[in-house]
A = this chain, B = another copy of it.
């Protein structure tokens, strides 16, 4: 298995898990089931299958999140490829493939989305082994999941014999309507298309060149001109010229090399809050209650109180999810439509589908805790050893009160240290920098005062994170 290079696609916005999942901190980075995020669970699963360090592909704006989550589970992230914009799965896999063949022409890629769940890891490992044999023989191998219900949300793969292992794909079929889905389920030889693949890197690139020459060429040029920026690999600009398409449409449905391993390893794409409820432990009333919940006569419901008390009465078959700035109340049968709320927020040019109140930065995080006319209050957390950029603001002054740890403050020509219960003032227009020189997290309260308080009122002079 040491030719197998895990490729983890960490894009995606997970809009159906709003309000927990948002564009700048989506589903794959959240710990909704157990101690690891979906990305971390995927990284650990990959490590069980192959000793080779993974290649990760993610959006530019998630780079520090991915790096931090890799670090936390002790997985190397020096092969983290940043997409300036998403172009769907086929180009993302192509970037990884070009990178892999440059290292090892015989590399076999195990392509995994970062936001799926697999409950039977042993069966998964065995299935990957079987798929890898096909890939070594020139197959582009997908996994076909034995369907549990007449799901209309997935594409299907028709196979000749569901009880046989590795075999040629008979046919890919689109997401069906309910009637068709029932037929597929009854027929027994239609499998869910899981979106995971085992592919010879060179075979994939050859087939891509055959079926989508522009995609193969632009991604090759992009990786040939890739630059290294700290821990990150930035593809060249030609990536933006790549057509956008899924691997299914761009390659799998066209190639004659498509193979499938029918599997039954407890796959779930966690496509909705109902799936989260389904995968969670439940009490005698069928509830999963998380956080501070007082539930009276409540049943078959998922209640997630992130920050505040939730009281429920006479609630059945519902999802209630509470975050600092938004609350979702939905019938379990309608949770797919959470994306409709997200759509409406986007149309309204709002921000609750993009950002959380707590915004993560490479140096730590900040959270808005109050705002008023001409002022706002933030709680700023700086990791030990971390440093914000040397910066100034044209429209606001800042008051800093250290409430935990120690801060080193640069203010124009002065450099001084503040301990707990000490404060300072950064006048409008002063060059300043905040650092945590200590071994403990630094926490401070910042009160900003001025006529304009947008994040974009910042002039950066030096930044250790290359921003």
Contact = CB atoms under 8 A, between A and B. Distances in A.
Interface of A: 18-19, 294, 296-297, 305, 308-315, 318, 320, 322, 324-331, 333-335, 337-338, 340-341, 344-345, 352, 369-370, 372-375, 377, 379, 397, 399, 401, 403-404, 420-421, 423, 425, 443, 445, 447, 449-450
Chain copies in complex: 2
A200 to B, nearest CB: 44
A318 B326 contact: no
A296 B404 contact: no
28 contacts: A294-B341, A294-B344, A296-B334, A296-B337, A308-B324, A309-B325, A310-B326, A310-B327, A310-B329, A311-B327, A311-B328, A311-B330, A311-B341, A312-B328, A313-B330, A313-B331, A313-B335, A314-B331, A320-B327, A320-B329, A372-B379, A373-B404, A374-B404, A375-B445, A377-B377, A401-B449, A403-B449, A423-B425
A311 B333 contact: no
Contacts of A294: 341, 344-345
B308 A326 contact: yes
Given A311-B341, A370-B369, A403-B447, A329 B325 contact: no
Contact of A375 (B345, B403, B450): B403
B329 A315 contact: yes
Tell me which of A18, A403, A443 has the highest count of chain B C-beta atoms within 10 A of its own C-beta: A403
B334 A447 contact: no
Main secondary structure of the interface of A (DSSP, over half): strand
A365 to B, nearest CB: 14
A199 B327 CA distance: 49
Contacts of A310: 326-329
Contacts of A450: 421
Contacts of A324: 308
Contacts of A329: 310-313, 315, 318, 320, 329
Contacts of A330: 311-315
Contact of A313 (B19, B337, B445): B337
A364 to B, nearest CB: 14
B309 A352 contact: yes
Nearest to A331: B314
A285 to B, nearest CB: 15
A308 B327 contact: yes
A340 B298 CA distance: 13
Given A403-B374, A423-B425, A445-B447, A326 B311 contact: yes
A325 B308 contact: yes
A337 to B, nearest CB: 5
A425 B418 CA distance: 14
A338 to B, nearest CB: 7
A58 B322 CA distance: 36
A438 to B, nearest CB: 16
Contacts of A320: 327, 329
Q: Which of A330, A344, A374, A379 has the most CB of B within 10 A?
A: A330
Nearest to A315: B329
A21 to B, nearest CB: 13
Contacts of A322: 327
B397 A399 contact: no
